[in-house]
Amino acid sequence: MEMKYFYWVIAASLLITVLAVLFVPGVDDFVEQTFQRYLGRAAN
Amino acid sequence: MRIVSRIFVVIVCLLSIPFMAVSTAALKQRFADGPNRVFSGGPLVAGDIHFGAEPDWSFVNPIPTIEMQLLDPPTSRRIWTVEYEGKVYVWSGYMGSIVGRMWKRWPIQAERNGKAIMRINGTRYERNLVRIQAGDELDGITAAITNKYPSQTTRSSVEQGDVWLFEAAPRNN
């Protein structure tokens, strides 16, 4: 039963994430910057 | 056993959030005018197109990265560049490995069709990428690369195909 709520929270989080990246100014750049940081760390 | 599978599901679900964020940001960039940082961008639209005589390409030497778009496919990326003896060069490393060739597809696409546009300081330059695999000029070009960037590019790495080097030559049509 409790997993059902967990899945709802994850689904809502995914939706909010997509909408934020698409429409909130600066979020896409923050995501890309963070990804670049991890990519650089993995490459070193 | 059930608790293990639940932990696995929870981890996968939590990881899906940053994965979705990165995927969405990468997809969004594909529709933008050029790249931002690491994700490929769409076609380079803004900026005047340079006509006339070849510029003095030494102006690129203090510039860390430029935007470059292939005509086929029309995607753009941010890359390193260097000038050497009046010519401008771009390159891609990691081409000697399977992972590198899967990751960096533009050099393979550029070898097939070298027509490209470079946007530097807001001006677009129509170029033709010509791969260079041998020749004495490699010594000078790779020295210019290692002087400008923390790169280990050498003449032998170009000759062995680990680094794919292109001259961004003038386009004649």
DSSP string over B110-154: HHH--EEEEEETTEEEEEEEEEE--STHHHHHHHHHHHHSS----
pTM: 0.86
Question: In which band, very low, low, confident or very high, does the pLDDT at B100 lie, cut at 50, 70 and 90?
Answer: confident
How far is A43 from B152, CA to CA, in rounded Å? 14
Query: Do B25 and A31 lie within an 8 Å CB cutoff?
Result: yes
In the DSSP assignment, the letter for residue B158 is H
Token code pair at residue B22: 């990165």
Q: Are B30 and B41 in contact (CB under 8 A)?
A: yes
Phi, psi angles (nearest 5°) of residue B126: -85, 125
Mean pLDDT across the stretch B94-117? 89
Query: Do B36 and A32 lie within an 8 Å CB cutoff?
Result: yes
State the amino acid at position A32 in one-letter form. Answer: E
In the DSSP assignment, the letter for residue B85 is T
Q: Does the ipTM surpass 0.90?
A: yes
Residue A44 has pLDDT above 70, yes or no: no
Tally of domains in chain A: 1
**B39 — contact with chain A (CB < 8 Å)?**
yes
Q: Name the closest residue on chain B to residue A28, using Cα atoms.
A: B25
pLDDT digits (tens, 9 = 90+) for A5-21: 999 999 999 999 999 99
How far is B32 from B124, CA to CA, in rounded Å? 16
Q: Which residues of chain B lie closer than 8 angstroms to A21, CB-CB? A: 21, 24-25, 28
- Shortest distance, CA A18 to any CA of chain B (angstroms): 6
Query: Do B16 and A14 lie within an 8 Å CB cutoff?
Result: yes
Token code pair at residue B102: 């899967």
In the DSSP assignment, the letter for residue B47 is S
How far is B27 from B20, CA to CA, in rounded Å? 10
Would you state the pLDDT for residue B96?
85
State the amino acid at position B36 in one-letter form. Answer: N
CATH topology of domain B57-170: Pnp Oxidase; Chain A (2.30.110)
Nearest CB to A35; choose among B14, B17, B38: B38
Using DSSP's 3-state secondary structure scheme, residue A25 falls into coil
Q: Which domain holds residue A26?
A: 2-43
